[in-house]
Structure 1
Amino acid sequence: MSPQLLFWVPAALRFLICLAGVGIVWFFFGATAGLILALIGMGALAFTQLHYLFRLGSWLDNPHQSKLPDGWGAWTDIFARLYRMRRDDEKNQIELAEWLARFRQAMSLLPDGVVIMDDVLFLEWCNPAAQRHLGLQLERDKGMRVTNLIRNPAFIDYIILGRYEQPLILSVQERKLIVQIIPFENRRQILVTHDATESERIDMMRRDFIANASHELRTPLTVINGFLEIALAQPNLDTAVRTSHLKLMTEQGQRMQNLIGDMLTLTRLESVDYPLRSERVHVRPLLEGILEEAKALSAGKHTITLEADGPDLQGNVDELRSAFSNLVSNAVRYTPQDGAIKLYWERKQGGGAQFVVKDNGIGISQEHISRLTERFYRVDKSRSRETQGTGLGLAIVRHVLLRHRATLGVESIPDKGSTFTVCFPANLLIEEFVPVESA
């Protein structure tokens, strides 16, 4: 049965019953009594309708706090429909609130900043990334004009010109931001910010790396080409001079080979496709081998000692040998003749273990310490050429230690010496220590 019939059939039956009652009274008690009864019935019916209309109006004024009234007759169906509509509306509001909460949570987790503005650039909402990028605070700045909050001339010009097809490169609070405004709807605009500071730093490091690598390779190649040109131009060159040239070319060739080897090692360590192959590292025999290499590099010019009382490690032997070797060879290169270099492998107070390289060499100024592990960074370029370093040793050390969750500490005083300390966490230690006698 259709809703219209469900409404009209009961109403028609009630009307017929009322007519029948009035007709019976009219028949038995006369026309006057019938009319009086009809008037009373009509009044009661009108009062009932007005009463339900009043209750409906009161509920419409405050639908969320007032209780929906119970109806009679046709009002039963009206109130039932209103109840279903209210229930569906509450359900939709709950779903809408959940979707809005999810949307805001997703926007809050985005690394890019998102600012929602109205058509006259008043701030309506922004995510935490936008607050960090632009120095905004949602609770404080909501309802304020964005151009009053971001007082940057380039940003103001970007807004005034309204050419939003191309993004704007903006420097805010030592950050490099890529900013773009996207109109949506009729009265809304979205301001999106992307922090390009880190990518710019990586690009700069890449450019510096290529420039430095080219420079480091060009120098020995220039020497080798120069001597080859001399050999071609002067085929009857004196044997002693020719031998000297060949010796220098061999040294420069070895320098290039070392540089390329270090570059390949560094690239491999940085690769995400090169996982750490962990194994038991017998630290004491490893350090004893490095000690012998250091003595050979020193050629008797230094006093080099080793104290190894610490436990074994869980790690990669080759990578740790490379890191430890670089630290020790640097100490040998930058310590004058008759200097002392001390190596320690010991437990660390509070847990863990540490490898310490201590020398009384030329030392390092404080302004250089924070940049020591950068590729090709040199404290003294002339000294580096003398020692034949590649400039990548400490960068390799840093990456090896990162892969082993270890840290590097540097303490140094110019003309007094330096101390390099590598600290390993306790969970990498293998407590059972089997002494290995020195050869």
Structure 2
Amino acid sequence: MNPKLLFWVPALLRLATVFVAGAVLWWLAGPIAGLALALAGAIVALFVQLSYLRQLGEWLNDPQSGRLPDGWGAWTDVFARLYRMRRDDERNQKELAEWLARFRQAMHLLPEGVAIMDDVLFLEWCNPAAERHLGLTIERDKGLRVTNLVRHPDFIDYIILGRYEQPLTLSLRGRKIECRIIPFENRRQILVTHDATDTERVEAMRRDFIANASHELRTPLTVIVGFLEIALSDPGLDGATRTAHLTLMTEQAERMQRLIGDMLQLSRLESDEFPLRRERVDVAALVESVAAEARALSGGKHEIAVEVDGPDVMGSMEELRSAFANLASNAVRYSPQGGKIALSWRRGADDLQFSVTDRGIGIDPQHISRLTERFYRVDKSRSRETQGTGLGLAIVKHVLLRHGGRLKISSTPGQGSTFTASLPNTSLPG
């Protein structure tokens, strides 16, 4: 049926009912009574309409679906439609609030900083990462101009020039912060920040590693190439000289082989393509084997003692052997002839410990924090004499990290050092 008819037909019927009742009373009791009844009916109808208009006005001041009246007559349909519309709005608002809460939670968890600014660079909102990167506080800085909050000449030039195709890298509070501005809508801009400090540090480490590795390989290659040139240019070298040259070339080739082997091992330890394969490791036998290798390297020049008072563990036999052997060989290389070296495996209060203690030259405290860096050497000349690659402690650190452990170093110059490979109790066999 036509919606207009649905409204007018009931209204006209109610009005006709009032007039018919007035006409009947007119016929029964006279014209005054009939007119009075018709007037009273019209007044009641008007009062009802005004009452519903008042209720509608009050509801519009606080439009909640649960507060709508039931209505009468045409108002029933009006209030029913308003109830449906308001219920849909409340559902949409609830969904919008949920999405907004999820968005804010996601923005809070993002490692990237996000700040929203208007077209004149006044701060409207930012997430915690942006607060950390730029030194902002949303409660304090909201509504302030970002260029007054981030007082860096390069940042201000970046804003003024408006060349947003490339990101801008700033040094703020000792960190490298990469900034990018993204215009959106007509009067909004997004400032995205990224902490590139670790990335730059890794890149610097990569450059240093390549430079150091190239330097380490260049030295033995120079020796080998030099002796080969001598041999080619002077076929009449006497046997003793030729033998000495071959011996030196062999030593340098072995040094390169050890260096390349250590670099490949480090690469495997850092790669996700080589996950840790756990097996039961007989640590007592492993320590005895490492001690035997250390005695062979020492050639009887050191006194090497072994103490084993700990359980077996779950881990990689090959990796743990490499870590323990590196610690033991370092003690042999950096201990003077006749020095004492102690290898021990014991269960600590809250961990498992393999310790190597020597009475060697010791290490100055300023060097200890850097000992596990690739190619870092306290005494470069002595390292060349001992034929070290400069990667041993880096290998130890990465092996322990893969096993959930850590390397502890204590040393006193002139008195000796103790290197402890600590493994967690979770390494114990189940």
Q: Normalising by the residue count of structure 2, what TM-score does the alignment of the two structures yield?
A: 0.95
Question: How many angstroms apart in 2 are the aligned matches of 1:309 and 1:44?
Answer: 102
1:352–1:429: 8 Å Cα contact kept in structure 2? no
In the TM superposition, residue 329 of structure 1 has moved relative to its aligned partner by 0.6
Write the distance in 2 (CA, Å) between the matches of 1:275 and 1:184: 44
The residue number in structure 2 matching 1:11 is: 11
Amino acid at match of 2:314: Q
Q: CA deviation at 1:225?
A: 0.6
- Structure 1: how far apart are the matches of 2:254 and 2:66? 90
Paired residues, what number?
430
- 1:47-126 aligned at under 5 Å gives the runs 47-64=47-64, 67-126=67-126
1:360 correspondence with 2:359: yes
Give secondary structure in 1 for the equivalent of 2:85: helix
193-202 or 222-231: bigger deviation? 193-202
| Pairwise CA distance, 1:65 | 9.8
Give the secondary structure class of the aligned counterpart of 1:268: helix
Matches within 5 A, 1:35-54: 35-54=35-54
Residue matched to 2:386: 387
The one-letter code of the counterpart of 1:285 is A
Matches within 5 A, 1:25-424: 25-64=25-64, 67-348=67-348, 350-424=349-423
Deviations 1:135-155 (A, max 9, x none): 222233333322222222221
Residue by residue over 1:28-58, the C-alpha shift from the partner in whole angstroms, topping out at 9 and shown as x without a partner, is: 4554544444333333322222222122112
Equivalent AA in structure 1 for residue 106 of structure 2: A
Cα distance in 1 between the residues matched to 2:178 and 2:427: 42
- What corresponds to 1:435 in structure 2? none
Q: Is the Cα–Cα contact under 8 Å of residues 342 and 358 in structure 1 kept in the other structure?
A: yes
**SS in structure 1 of the partner of residue 116 of structure 2:** strand
Deviates more, 1:122-131 or 1:30-39: 30-39
Once residues 135 and 277 of structure 2 are traced to their aligned partners in structure 1, the CA distance between those partners, rounded to angstroms, is: 44
**SS of match in other structure, 1:389:** coil
Deviation, 1:219, is: 0.6
Cα shift readout 1:92-127 (whole Å, capped 9, x = no counterpart): 111111111111112222221111222222222222
- 1:382 Cα offset (Å): 1.0
Cα distance in 1, alignment partners of residues 12 and 362 from structure 2: 108
| Superimposed CA distance per residue, residues 199-219 of structure 1 (whole angstroms, 9 cap, x where no aligned partner) | 211111111111111111111
Q: Give 1:21 deviation, angstroms.
A: 2.3
> Secondary structure at the residue paired with 2:102?
helix
Deviation per CA, 1:71-103, whole angstroms, max 9, x where unpaired? 222112111211222211111111111111111
Instruction: Check the 8 A contact 2:18/2:42 in 1, yes or no.
Output: no
Query: Deviation of residue 430 (structure 1)?
Result: 4.4
**Aligned residue type for 2:149:** L
Q: Which deviates the most, 391-400 or 302-311?
A: 302-311
Q: Check whether the contact 2:65–2:86 (CA below 8 A) recurs between aligned residues.
A: no
Give the superposition deviation at 1:313. 1.6
Q: 2-side partners of 1:390 and 1:334: how far apart?
A: 14
Distance 1:61 1:351, change over 3 A: closer
One-letter amino acid of the counterpart of residue 113, structure 2: G
What is the rounded CA distance, in whole Å, between the counterparts of 2:157 and 2:309 in structure 1? 67
State the Cα distance separating 1:303 from its structure 2 match: 1.4
Any conservation in 2 of the 1:59–1:66 contact (CA below 8 Å)? no
Query: 2: distance between equivalents of 1:146 and 1:3?
Result: 57
1:226, CA displacement in angstroms? 0.6
Distance 2:62 2:49 in 1: 20
1:333-388, CA deviations, whole angstroms, 9 ceiling, x for partnerless residues?
Answer: 1111221111111121x233211101111111111111111111111111111111
2:312–2:429 Cα contact (<8 Å) kept:
yes
Distance 2:318 2:152 in 1: 52
- 1:151 is paired with a residue of what secondary structure? coil
Q: What amino acid is the match of 1:360?
A: R
The one-letter code matched in structure 1 to 2:368 is I
Q: Distance in 2 between matches of 1:2 and 1:366?
A: 94
Mean Cα deviation higher: 279-288 or 135-144? 135-144
| Distance of 2:33 and 2:295 partners within structure 1 | 133
- The code of the aligned residue for 1:336 comes to P
Percent of counterpart pairs with the same letter?
Answer: 68
Q: Would you say 1:24 and 2:21 are equivalent positions? A: no
Mark the runs of 5 or more structure 2 residues left unpaired by the alignment. Answer: none
Shift of 1:192: 0.8
Superposed CA offset, 1:241-292 (max 9, x none): 1111111111001101111111111111111111212111111222112112
The separation in 2 between residues aligned to 1:41 and 1:321, in whole angstroms, is: 105
Secondary structure of the 1:157 match is: helix
| Higher mean displacement: 54-63 or 407-416 | 54-63
Please tell me the residue identity of whatever aligns with 1:422: A
Instruction: State the secondary structure of the residue aligned to 1:409.
Output: strand
Q: Which moves more between the two structures, 271-280 or 216-225?
A: 271-280
C-alpha distance in 2 between matches for 1:364 and 1:313: 31
Q: Decide which moves more: 253-262 or 186-195.
A: 186-195
Bigger drift between 161-170 and 63-72 goes to 63-72
What letter is aligned with 2:351? G
Q: Could you tell me which amino acid in structure 2 is paired with residue 237 of structure 1? A: L
Tell me how large the CA RMSD over aligned residues is: 1.8
**Separation in structure 2 between the aligned mates of residue 301 and residue 29 of structure 1, nearest angstrom:** 140
Which sits farther off after the overlay, 212-221 or 173-182?
Answer: 173-182
